[in-house]
């Protein structure tokens, strides 16, 4: 006799991928449980303060244009932005002033902490915070979506997973208030050789700054021993709060014996150094420090298909394509200050097959977000938040349909999460 399940779909992990999965599942009529071991939803986007979200738009912008390129990701990922923008917690999509990604989407991480549980609860998702998953909990559901970021549920279910042999370094994010962003922009326009900039930077909105550079000033700080962080530049972005910038410049090796202590030490180093040496920061003061250090990669699935660098660079399509990615390949060195990047070719986006979410060992499972089956370079693009949400929507929708004994009309309909 078959024992009925308490839930149709269990989503393990309440980051943005998990939130999108849970919302998509419950909207299909499935009894849906979302379990998150932290005290809030949002994962790296809240506890790690990862922002701006990158990217919803093709990564091959026209260098002669100051307009957004074609939008590639929509669906629930876009719905979240629309809601947050209406609340004043997001600036919406803007052209990347650095000219690297197709777009940037600044989001207030504190507002996001309140928005996500309200949004999901109103839709009918059962949420449990401060709770991990175990085998008994997994067995209470007909289908499981692993959006944990480290394949916690997948490994418990016997799916084959692997830990990246050379993990990208960790970053502890923080904000500074009282920053003169107008002074920063003026300095960028006067010293373009010291930054990575969009070719049409003068035509972009002047109330938002993105900094990848201050190369000589940063280099001088390192040569004098004032900066010990193994990076070659300052990286920071405006937030939706006037005068606040989010600093993304700490770098801690993933195998460091005390990564959190080292991350906080680097935050303190930058807090002391920036006001004394970088234009626009003279009156800067500490705003917010992320709840935890941000992890770029951990365990991921060995799925039925591994998304490869060749798939990305060729913009490959698949018969079972269910979502799209568009962020350039972006690998932070684990041993040097280098940042290895590579733009996507052709149309500036690629498809992701359903097989990257499926395990050969169990048909109860789909993964989403950073658990995706991909090689090192494929993962370096597909790990980003908008793509994670697109994958989460697909995993949640398809898990619900399978749990309820329904069939998707066709797989391509699931790629409606993309707007192309």
Give the tens place of pLDDT for each residue, 226-264. 999 999 999 999 999 999 999 999 999 999 999 999 999
The H-assigned helical ranges of 278-375 are: 309-314
Nearest Cα to 386, choosing from 357, 414, 353, 418? 418
CB neighbours of residue 2 within 10 Å = 4
Compute the distance between CA of residue 8 and CA of residue 92 in angstroms, rounded to an integer: 34
**C-alpha atoms less than 13 angstroms from C-alpha of 213 in its C-beta half-sphere:** 22
What local confidence, expressed as pLDDT, does residue 1 receive? Answer: 37
Joined tokens for residue 23: 């919302």
What local confidence, expressed as pLDDT, does residue 419 receive? Answer: 45
Residue 248: exposed, middle, or buried by beta-carbon count in 10 A (0-12, 13-18, 19+)?
A: buried
Q: What is the DSSP letter of 209?
A: -
7-167+297-417: CATH superfamily: FAD/NAD(P)-binding domain (3.50.50.60)
Estimate the crossing angle of helix 259-277 against helix 215-223, to 10 degrees. 120
Compute the distance between CA of residue 186 and CA of residue 208 in angstroms, rounded to an integer: 12
Give the tens place of pLDDT for each residue, 15-61. 999 999 999 999 999 999 999 999 999 999 999 999 999 999 998 65
What's this model's pTM, rounded to 2 decimal places?
A: 0.95
Give the tens place of pLDDT for each residue, 83-97. 999 999 999 999 999
Q: Where in the chain is the domain with CATH 3.50.50.60?
A: 7-167+297-417
Give the tens place of pLDDT for each residue, 146-177. 999 999 999 999 999 999 878 889 999 999 99
Burial 377-415 (b: 16+ CB within 10 A, else e): bbbbbbbbbbbbbbbbbbbbbbbbbbbbeeebeebeebb
* Mean pLDDT of all residues in 204-225: 97
In sign, the C-alpha dihedral spanning 252, 284, 192, 211 is positive
What local confidence, expressed as pLDDT, does residue 412 receive? Answer: 54
Q: Which residue has the tokens 């993105």?
A: 210
Bridge-based pairing of strands 329-332 and 126-129 is unpaired
Joined tokens for residue 388: 């994670």
Q: What percent of the chain has pLDDT over 90?
A: 82
């Amino acid at each position: 006799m078959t024992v009925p399940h308490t839930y149709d779909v269990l989503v393990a992990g309440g980051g943005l991928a998990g939130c999108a999965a849970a919302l998509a599942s419950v909207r299909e009529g499935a009894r849906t449980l979302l379990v998150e071991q932290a005290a809030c939803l949002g994962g790296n986007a809240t506890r790690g303060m990862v922002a701006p979200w990158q990217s919803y738009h093709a990564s091959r912008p026209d260098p002669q244009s100051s307009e957004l390129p074609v939008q590639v990701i929509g669906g629930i990922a876009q719905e979240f932005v629309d809601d947050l923008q209406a609340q004043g917690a997001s600036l919406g999509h803007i052209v990347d002033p650095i000219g690297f990604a197709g777009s940037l989407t600044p989001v207030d991480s504190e507002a996001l902490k309140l928005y996500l549980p309200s949004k999901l609860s109103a839709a009918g998702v059962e949420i449990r915070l401060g709770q991990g998953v175990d085998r008994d909990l997994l067995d209470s559901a007909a289908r499981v979506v692993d959006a944990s970021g480290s394949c916690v549920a997948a490994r418990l279910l016997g799916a084959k997973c692997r830990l990246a042999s050379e993990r990208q370094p960790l970053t502890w994010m923080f904000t500074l208030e009282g920053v003169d962003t107008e002074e920063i922009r003026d300095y960028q326009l006067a010293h373009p050789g010291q930054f990575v900039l969009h070719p049409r930077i003068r035509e972009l909105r002047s109330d938002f700054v993105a900094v990848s550079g201050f190369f000589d000033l940063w280099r001088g700080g390192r040569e004098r021993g004032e900066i010990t962080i193994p990076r070659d530049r300052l990286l920071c972005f405006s937030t939706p709060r006037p005068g606040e910038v989010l600093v993304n410049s700490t770098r801690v090796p993933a195998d460091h014996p005390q990564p959190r202590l080292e991350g906080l030490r680097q935050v303190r180093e930058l807090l002391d150094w920036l006001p004394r040496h970088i234009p626009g920061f003279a009156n800067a003061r500490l705003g917010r420090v992320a709840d935890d250090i941000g992890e770029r990669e951990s365990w991921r699935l060995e799925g039925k298909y591994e998304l490869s660098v060749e798939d990305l660079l060729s913009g490959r399509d698949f018969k079972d394509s269910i979502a799209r990615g568009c962020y350039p390949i972006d690998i932070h060195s684990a041993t040097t200050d280098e940042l290895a990047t590579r733009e996507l070719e052709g149309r500036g986006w690629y498809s992701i097959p359903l097989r990257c979410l499926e395990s050969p060992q169990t048909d109860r499972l789909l993964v989403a977000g950073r658990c995706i089956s991909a090689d090192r370079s494929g993962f370096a693009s597909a790990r980003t938040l908008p793509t994670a949400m697109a994958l989460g929507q697909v995993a949640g929708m398809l898990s619900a349909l399978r749990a309820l004994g329904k069939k998707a009309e066709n797989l391509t309909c699931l790629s409606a999460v993309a707007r192309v």
